[in-house]
Chain A
Amino acid sequence: MIAIKRSNQFYNFVSIAGVLLLWQLVVSAGLFGKLVPSPVAVFKEFIDMLQNPIGGRSLFMHLWFSIKRVLTAFITAVVTGVPLGLFMGWNKKVDAIVKPVFELLKPIPPIAWIPLAILWFGIGETPKVFICFVGSFVPCVVNSYTGMRYVDPLLIDMTKTFGATRRQQFIDVGLPASLTAVFAGLQNALSLGWMCVLAAELVGAREGVGYIITLGMDTANPAMIIVGMLIIGAVGAAIAVIVRRIERIVCPWKRGITS
């Protein structure tokens, strides 16, 4: 096992080093002129951003603003979307009432809500959180709904023979059986939340990683843009790892598959 782990880490290292090397070679060959900075230039920019404020705030403050927006939206989406999806999947009447409206709203890209969000909530925090919420809400509902719809009817029948009430069937079988799909939805919701925060911060934000990227564009500083993009990627991956860890704690019976 140790040999395999070492081997995987080695391949991970080779993969990242390979991309950096290729990137450096492309830049050194001058294929894109000054439009693509070298990895070294990006790293230098990153150090510079750590040491000097950007738009009056430190890099960590900008990062904190983005995380706060995503997490606020994500938690709101989970609290509202997961129960809604579960009940839609569990109860045919709830499904019949909610599904037509949801199906209509589902295909609308979250970015399309930006103009309305600004009209409704102005240009403060609320519209940005709202856009992230719209992005996160849909996968929360869809995956919870799907998870509940695919609960093995055999297990429900089994609890029925014991005289389980609908509530007991939901708690003992429906809910835990849906958890795997729910967690897959949470991963998607986080990814979409991060996509949306960037889009939301590109419009009139004074803080956040999206603002850093916009500032990089306005000041013709591609290295700053790439630092902003890499920060989004790194934080998104870190949060995804945390969600996976939570899943392993909440669904210990799946450990053999997920580990």
Chain B
Amino acid sequence: MTDLKERRTKVEVKNLTKCYDDLLVLDDVSFEVKEGEFLCIVGPTGCGKTTFLNTLAKFIPATKGDIYVDGVPSNPMIHNLSFVFQEPSCIPWKTVEENIRLGLEIKKIPEQEIKTRVEKVINLVGLQNYRHYYPRQLSSSMEQRVVIARSFVMNPDLLLMDEPYGQLDVKLRYYLEDELIRLWKELNSTVLFVTHNIEEAVYLAERIIVLTPKPAKIKAEVIVDLPRPRDFTAPEFVKIREQVTELIRWW
């Protein structure tokens, strides 16, 4: 993968500000995401990470500022901003395959292309033998893989992930993190991953943005230039983890 500096800017967040009445939650946040970048956002608990993502995804309106995709203000009708939620978000009445197809059907992609894209992604996440299963028939890791497949199949301009592995046990999280990296590399997607888990951020990211306590502002950016697969115990890994931990410390 090419150096971050050499890649073109895919997404620009400019002066993003969010207030709830008098409560300032996001304070003039601006940054860029490069094409095909894996960017992690970390910050102390309650700093407004989820509000930040919800504002980016336009679930809630920003008080000021906007997000630009390829230089154009982002619009879900023309851009692909896929979102992976913290909670399981498979549609219970749709099978695995129908869940993965959903976004493409909404976008009215031609049927032949839907079939090709779904087939590719369903094989990548290893769910080809479960395509006709309903979510209730799957384990939680499989369900989360369906959600991730549903997002990647869109070839998203920006994939927003809100602590998607926060509710899973460590072993499962490691497994899904590796799978996420594999998909990201394979499909060359641009990912913005929010987490409160510093180790997870260092393991996944090419770059980490550290937010301040509320109101959230950008405190620092940390480049994670480590080879993959990354080793949690490697001295370079530990060093970056401690550096981010120190940045996040607010007490």
| Chain A positions near chain B (C-beta within 8 angstroms) | 154-155, 157-164, 168, 172-173, 176-177, 179, 251-253, 256
Tell whether A160 pairs with B59 under 8 Å between CB atoms, given A154-B89, A173-B91, A176-B93.
Answer: yes
The 3 closest A-B pairs by CB, nearest first: A162-B103, A163-B76, A161-B83
Answer yes or no: B87 CB below 8 A from chain A CBs.
yes
Tell whether A157 pairs with B83 under 8 Å between CB atoms, given A162-B103, A162-B106, A172-B102.
Answer: yes
- Which secondary structure dominates where chain B touches chain A? loop
Chain A residues whose CB sits within 8 angstroms of the CB of B59 once the complex forms: 157, 160
Minimum C-beta distance from A178 to chain B (A): 11
Query: Bound complex: CA of A158 vs CA of B59, how far in Å?
Result: 10
Chain B residues whose CB sits within 8 angstroms of the CB of A251 once the complex forms: 93
Minimum C-beta distance from A157 to chain B (A): 5
Query: Bound complex: CA of A161 vs CA of B58, how far in Å?
Result: 8
B102 touches which of A157, A159, A160, A256 (Cβ 8 Å): A159
Closest residue of chain B to A256 (Cβ to Cβ) is B136
Query: Bound complex: CA of A158 vs CA of B151, how far in Å?
Result: 10
Closest residue of chain A to B57 (Cβ to Cβ) is A161
Contact call B89/A168, Cβ cutoff below 8 A = no
Contact call B85/A154, Cβ cutoff below 8 A = yes
Contact call B87/A161, Cβ cutoff below 8 A = no
Query: Bound complex: CA of A28 vs CA of B143, how far in Å?
Result: 62
Query: Bound complex: CA of A252 vs CA of B136, how far in Å?
Result: 12
Chain B residues whose CB sits within 8 angstroms of the CB of A179 once the complex forms: 93
Contact call B89/A162, Cβ cutoff below 8 A = no
Chain B residues whose CB sits within 8 angstroms of the CB of A159 once the complex forms: 102, 106
- Which secondary structure dominates where chain A touches chain B? helix
Answer yes or no: B234 CB below 8 A from chain A CBs.
no
Contact call A158/B93, Cβ cutoff below 8 A = no
Minimum C-beta distance from A256 to chain B (A): 6
Tell whether A163 pairs with B136 under 8 Å between CB atoms, given A154-B87, A172-B106, A253-B93.
Answer: no
Chain B residues whose CB sits within 8 angstroms of the CB of A157 once the complex forms: 57, 59, 83, 85
Contact call A161/B92, Cβ cutoff below 8 A = no
Chain A residues whose CB sits within 8 angstroms of the CB of B80 once the complex forms: 162
15 contacts between A and B (CB under 8 A): A154-B85, A155-B91, A160-B76, A161-B81, A162-B106, A162-B107, A162-B154, A163-B75, A163-B77, A163-B106, A164-B106, A172-B102, A176-B93, A253-B92, A253-B93
Answer yes or no: B184 CB below 8 A from chain A CBs.
no
Chain A residues whose CB sits within 8 angstroms of the CB of B102 once the complex forms: 159, 162, 172
Query: Bound complex: CA of A159 vs CA of B103, how far in Å?
Result: 7
Chain A residues whose CB sits within 8 angstroms of the CB of B103 once the complex forms: 161-162
Contact call B93/A161, Cβ cutoff below 8 A = no
Answer yes or no: B78 CB below 8 A from chain A CBs.
yes
Interface residues in B61-108 by Cβ distance below 8 A to A read 75-83, 85, 87, 89, 91-94, 102-103, 106-107
